[in-house]
Amino acid sequence: MAITALFRSKPIEELPDIEAAALRSDRFRLEREQDWKRLEAILKRMESGRLRKLPDEDLLELPVLYRTAASSLAIARETSLDAATLAYLESLVQRAWFQVYGPRSSLIGWLRRFFGGGWSASVRELWLEICIALAVMVAGTIVGWVLAARDEAWYYSLVPTEFADTRVPGASREVLEKSLSGVEKIDGLSFFSAFLFSNNAKVAILAFALGFAFGIPSLMLLMQNLATLGAMLWLFSQAGLTLDFAAWLSIHGTTELFAILLAGAAGLHIGRSMAFPGNRSVVAAAAESGQRAAQVMAGVVLMLVVAALLESFARQLVTDTGMRLAIGGTMLALWLAYFFAFRRSPGDIGE
């Protein structure tokens, strides 16, 4: 009854137009439906996590099919095709856009690639900068030792007041040895850990950020910080506590100094690529090296967290020189094994 009333309310000559529109919509779908189904099948396989099993021809065809579906959607909107076709195309184009232009993996997938080979591969690509930064750090340590040995006034210039406290030239062996002792309780060590992380992060971030000035300030910062270490090494060697100081330092220093080394190398990598871009433009060279250096720095932050925990907890609670050396040596071995012996490519890891 209602349908009859609807047709009676419209002129009879309009009925062929409705039929023509329906026919036009059916023809539009039939002409393009095969491409839509092809695109939908590819999307389903990609969304189910079977990207590695997807044939190369499907991956190459994906952008073409996406543009075809987007064009079909534009035509459908202009010609006011039926709502079902329009809704289907909108959903299909949205899903295809996400696969073509959207993020390639989830956070878990990124973490798997990062720890499964991406971080270590980026570090290995900076081998030349790491060697240069390491040479500068060793030179800085030697310079600090020599300067303090020749003139004690240099010790006060190189070692900040908060590091010196009772560890000053002329201090007795007992005083210096006590400064290397730990604590019996862990109260307050979490706050100490946060402070140490903040302090170490400043040095690492500065070493990285100053790399944009062609890397020279980064190298100067590394030399300055290691000169402080060299001066302190000289002080404890005068009291016959070289091994004790090395153990006290190694428990966290093998991680902390390694992180600072990588940060300086990352900054130097950017500076070197800008100074010697090769066939690339300076901007392109900086962008390419910046991506690699940023991945290294993401790992440096993690290393600094580990170093802060070791410094505030393990170093304070473990007082035996042999145990301290064992912990520091083990951490160094683990980092070296991960960065230079772990050769798995991030591309070998599935989503």
Which range is most confident: 87-96, 189-198, 256-265?
A: 256-265
Cα atoms found within 13 Å of the Cα of residue 301, Cβ hemisphere only: 6
Report the sign of the C-alpha dihedral through residues 220, 223, 228, 234, in that order.
Answer: negative
pLDDT tens digits for range 20-69: 555 566 777 778 888 888 889 888 888 776 666 778 787 788 888 888 88
Q: What are phi and psi of 169, to 5 degrees?
A: -55, 135
The predicted pLDDT at position 194 comes to 58
Whether the per-residue pLDDT at 2 is higher than 50: the answer is no
The predicted pLDDT at position 275 comes to 86
- How confident is residue 185, by pLDDT bands cut at 50, 70 and 90? low
pLDDT tens digits for range 226-247: 999 999 999 999 999 999 999 9
Long-range contacts of 310-315 (CB under 8 A, 24+ apart): 310/251, 310/252, 310/255, 311/193, 311/196, 311/251, 311/252, 311/256, 312/189, 312/190, 312/192, 312/193, 312/196, 313/186, 313/189, 313/193, 314/251, 314/252, 315/182, 315/248, 315/251, 315/252
pLDDT tens digits for range 285-341: 888 888 899 999 999 999 998 998 898 888 888 889 999 999 999 999 999 999 998
pLDDT tens digits for range 63-115: 888 888 888 888 878 776 677 888 888 888 888 887 777 655 566 777 888 88
The predicted pLDDT at position 15 comes to 42
Of 228, 308, 303, which Cα lies nearest the Cα of 260?
Answer: 303
Whether the per-residue pLDDT at 133 is higher than 80: the answer is yes
**Domain boundaries of the chain, sorted by first residue:** 13-102, 108-348
Q: What are phi and psi of 5, to 5 degrees?
A: -65, -35
